[in-house]
Structure 1
Amino acid sequence: MMKSLLCWPEPVIRVQSLAASGIREIPERYIKSPSHRPSLNNDVSQPQEVDVPVVDFQNLFSSDRGLCDEALRCVHNACREWGFFQIVNHGVSHELMKRTCEVWHEFFNLPLEEKQKYANTPATYEGYGSRIGVEKGASLDWSDYFFLLLMPLSLVNQSKWPAIPASCRELVAEYGSEVVRLGGKLMKVLSMNLGLEEDSLLKSFGGEENVGACLRVSYYPKCPQPDLTLGLSPHSDPGGLTILLPDENVGGLQVCRKGSWLTVKPVPNAFIINIGDQIQVLSNAIYQSVEHRVIVNSNEDRVSLAIFYNPKSDQLLEPCKKLLTKDRPALYKPMTYAEYRLTIRAKGPCGKKQVESLKSPRQSD
């Protein structure tokens, strides 16, 4: 399996270059099957937006017991019913958020030959990329991206990060440090809401020094036929938590709720938090990751920054024993995060098939 991940099966085409070429029809590789396209009944350039639960993060640590309890309930209900929520007053500098977004806009506007210096491979995905999964002839998404490692520090190699713009590495390091710290606080909140020790989920991830964290900056170019394709195909995130800084001006993130695709309306200066597959496993499906996708439009480019807060790669993950009962035994068989992630790297986004495949045979009937 690993040998097949050392190179892409066919030449990689940069979607930004395709969009800039002035094409009026997208190549067949980007056209989704009719059942997977954005709804033809809606104008995908102006999708109907929905308000996802918003939590004042400051209140989660308030000395006012009433405010704290209400915020905890809001997070708990959002994790159970949505798998997504937004947080405001999270402690990350708004100016830092703005500058980090701006520097990535600048990167993607650089000449192609400069960006190509960081071209990635499927072995780690680190660098400048345009596809996920190594299956030859697979359907492709209308997006480019830059993927880099933030944690553990022993694996970080800043020479793989863009040297241009000049402020990029410094901003990414500062932004990554702040958001990873936020991820640790969120893990404590989820542990408390599940009735576990405050550091329980973090320990299950391998401890604060061993967690894996990475940044994926996604660039969604304008598309001449947005009704036929997707910026990112339906999937649930394979790791623990995703902390997303969306484009406030151009919507595109959609979540699947009760069989319908709903477009998330970003709140200014907020992060969108979503539950990943490994939290679903550890919580024994009390909290469930939610399928989501990204639509594109014909009018504007869009950039979003997602930091993935993940378990240590060789950490064996299984439902927390404290959450198991006679009536609700373990739903999932143990698996390391590295084993789980390898399938995603090979096949690309595949809805929620991967996490459901972990279910013990007796639980799959």
Structure 2
Amino acid sequence: MDCLQDWPEPVVRVQSLSDSGANTIPGRYVKPPSDRPSSAPCADLSIPVVDLASLAGDGTVDCAAVVQAVSSACRDWGFFQVVNHGVDPGLMRRMRQVWRGFFHLPMEAKQVYANSPKTYEGYGSRLGIQKGAILDWGDYYFLHVLPQSLKSHTKWPALPSTLSRETTDEYGHELIKLCERVMKVLSLGLGLNADFLQKAFGGDDAGACMRVNFYPKCPQPDLTLGLSSHSDPGGITVLLADDRVKGLQVRRGDAWVTVQPVPDSFIINVGDQVQVLSNATYKSVEHRVVVNSEAERLSFAFFYNPKSDLLIGPAPELVTPDRPALYQPMTFDEYRLYIRRKGPRGKSQVESLKAAR
């Protein structure tokens, strides 16, 4: 999975650029006019909100209304918010507190955890390894959660408090349980057995990782993006959005919808692997992050993925003479190299998998 042992050019922390007090951003962060936040209209719409309170605590799914609501959202939007999801709001608040504290540590303390494109794990400031690429206005911290063989607490920050690793570990355990429940709902929404997608992901060998995103204040937010438009390469993503500052936008046709986070909710979206497995019944949808000049923004993207060496292709149960297989099989290891090399680029990769006709 190695791309490079190191970045092709010196890494500049976006937070240091923001803290410098400059009135303009470096040219490396200026997007082409067609990719700037004002390049497409914004729609006054909201993504669906689904209440998960009726799901049984033992992980079984006992509510047809939830299955229908989630299935409809995944077919139409590719995104939905969940409330009453079973994760303690107090834990969600502690995660925000701990990680906001990390990003406000002195730079030398954070640099101890600097990452490389070999695994991306640690403190980073760019996605993709193309020299001279136009960069996004954001820093991040990337962590492996599953499989256990990749999880190393020594690469997790022990600062700003002794509870940092414990809080992040507890959060990871709770998000895995939530993802497993959502996978059952998604499977039933496809008319398949509740455990279908989990088995397709490798059962207990499924993967999980997390990226903590930090978007500093930007003096020219109309010229750049915190994260360029892309669909997520993995299975499903569970996002804990900033509870104070909006920034996530979801593509809806030719327009962008700004997501309004519901308090104590998670935002869930379909990734490319579920689009492929569902033979495009469920849609992975482009999304991006805008920044602003007034406030920083913090979010937590939890990625639940197939086992890295499994071939992922359309489920045979969803392939018919009227709807043949739309995609060629590929392992997730091969698939995610694309974004690691090139960074976020719309839906160009999943489109490249379309089977020849």
What TM-score bracket applies, with the shorter chain setting the length?
Answer: over 0.9
Count, aligned residues: 353
Q: Give 1:154-173 correspondences, 5 Å limit.
A: 154-165=149-160, 166-173=162-169
C-alpha distance in 1 between matches for 2:249 and 2:126: 20
Structure 2 residue corresponding to 1:231, chosen from 201, 226, 230: 226
CA deviations on 1:161-213 (whole Å, 9 max, x unpaired) are 00112211000000000011100110011001101111110111011x21110
C-alpha distance in 1 between matches for 2:147 and 2:338: 22
C-alpha distance in 2 between matches for 1:59 and 1:357: 39
1:103 aligns with 2:93: no
CA deviations on 1:66-123 (whole Å, 9 max, x unpaired) are x922222111110001000000000000000000111000000000000000000011
State the partner residue of 1:38.
37
8 Å CA contact 1:275–1:289 kept in 2: the answer is yes
8 Å CA contact 1:86–1:273 kept in 2: the answer is yes
C-alpha distance in 2 between matches for 1:41 and 1:175: 36
Unaligned runs of 5+ in 2: none
State the partner residue of 2:180.
184
- One-letter code of the match for 2:12? I
SS in 1 for 2:63: helix
Q: Give 1:1-365 correspondences, 5 Å limit.
A: 2=2, 4-39=3-38, 50-61=45-56, 68-165=63-160, 166-207=162-203, 209-362=204-357
How big is the shift at 1:344?
A: 1.1
How big is the shift at 1:155?
A: 1.6
TM-score by length of 2: 0.96
SS in 1 for 2:275: helix
What fraction of aligned residue pairs are identical, expressed as a percent?
61
8 Å CA contact 1:50–1:265 kept in 2: the answer is no
SS in 1 for 2:191: coil
How big is the shift at 1:51?
A: 2.0
CA deviations on 1:316-335 (whole Å, 9 max, x unpaired) are 10111011101111100010
TM-score by length of 1: 0.94
Unaligned runs of 5+ in 1: none
Query: Which contiguous aligned blocks of 4+ residues in structure 1 show a shift greater than 3 angstroms?
Result: 47-50
C-alpha distance in 2 between matches for 1:50 and 1:117: 43
SS in 1 for 2:188: helix
CA deviations on 1:126-178 (whole Å, 9 max, x unpaired) are 00000000000001000000000011112210000001122110000000000
How big is the shift at 1:257?
A: 0.5
C-alpha distance in 1 between matches for 2:257 and 2:234: 23
The two structures, once aligned, show a CA RMSD in angstroms of: 1.6
SS in 2 for 1:98: helix
C-alpha distance in 2 between matches for 1:118 and 1:351: 29
8 Å CA contact 2:43–2:256 kept in 1: the answer is no
